[in-house]
Structure 1
């Protein structure tokens, strides 16, 4: 079973059973996440009034491996700015893509802003179509 990386948007789509969740359910047991992406997903849940313990119960069982945001990950994330050609991606998106490059794993997202990125060594998979 090969590993995959989920960004915060994909993890939230999975737990909220949004469009694309069925694709993501097939990845359970393989999910790797950056601690930055986990923090972003948790922030969204806390903003919806979810308690800390409930958030942990929702999120942690879904993640097979959590990768700390260390120095090499931070520098690779920052260096991506050179390839983005003026696109202003948030830290979480860049950290997720950088982790995919670092670990040579596909990155699953529901964020349509990442769909047209052409970054060397990245493999970004969009799991739901953009809604009008």
Structure 2
């Protein structure tokens, strides 16, 4: 049986909202040791995924008071927990993205990065 995304995803996911500043997101990434943070909005008790901010997005930002809305990527790729690692890797390669958000029943339940794949290989999971 093929290994699934659920085995290597980071969960629970560190998220934030559109009104967060780049300074806050940078500090949150450092404190939580993550390289990407999904940006969400709560609407009628449903959490909607709006975008993602990565450490790469923050590199050129000089004004720490900039709202993440202006630097986040709205191009998001997602997978389910049952997606095989092979399928997820293929999706990352085809989309040229380093992070995939894991969605279950319209909720953000995890995130995987290209580094998670490297760790899985090093740990003998793949």
Same structural fold, with TM-score higher than 0.5 when normalized by the shorter chain = no
Q: Which has the higher strand share?
A: 2
TM-score normalized with structure 1 length: 0.25
